[in-house]
């Protein structure tokens, strides 16, 4: 994932994600920006380690995300419903039934 990170003003993390902060897409298919928890919320600490690189089980490619997105996953693992695969050039499900695992320990992204 790349692009500008944007906090979600006025939205609680447990509500369904609305549209991305900037609805444009980059040439590779990624959103131009991403929702993240505020810096203040991320500074409260993490439930999981901060990890930036994950593996897509379908194609075997690894993708690295921006630090603010990685910190958001670490603070609130269920914050996102999908993530980007740089090889497939699309967004796919995360969580228990998701297609991605963290590169370091093979746990499911989003759990």
- Which tens digit of pLDDT belongs to each residue from 25-48? 889 888 888 889 989 999 999 999
Q: In terms of residue numbers, what domain contains 87?
A: 4-9+21-102
**Total domains present in the chain:** 1
pLDDT score for 5: 39
Domain-located, residue 98: yes
Domain-located, residue 25: yes
Domain-located, residue 111: no
Domain-located, residue 14: no
Domain-located, residue 32: yes
pLDDT score for 7: 43
Q: With 60 as the cut, is the pLDDT of residue 10 above it?
A: no
| pTM of the shown model | 0.78
- Measured CA to CA, the distance from residue 43 to residue 94 in angstroms comes to 24
* DSSP letters for 22-83: S--B-TTS-BSEEEE--HHHHTT--SS----EEEETTT--EEE--HHHHHHHHH-TTS-SEE
pLDDT score for 70: 95
pLDDT score for 2: 36
- Predicted confidence (pLDDT) per residue in 55-102, tens digit: 999 999 999 999 999 999 999 999 999 999 999 999 999 999 999 999
């Amino acid at each position: 994932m790349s692009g500008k990170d944007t906090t979600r003003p006025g939205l609680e993390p447990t509500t369904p994600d609305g549209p991305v902060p900037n609805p444009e897409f980059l040439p590779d298919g990624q959103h131009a920006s991403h929702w993240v928890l505020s810096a203040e919320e991320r500074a409260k600490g993490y439930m999981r380690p901060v990890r930036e690189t994950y593996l897509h089980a379908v194609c075997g490619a690894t993708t690295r995300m921006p630090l603010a997105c990685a910190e958001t996953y670490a603070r609130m693992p269920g914050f996102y419903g999908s993530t980007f695969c740089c090889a497939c050039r699309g967004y796919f499900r995360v969580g228990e039934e998701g297609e991605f695992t963290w590169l370091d320990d093979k746990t499911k992204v989003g759990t």
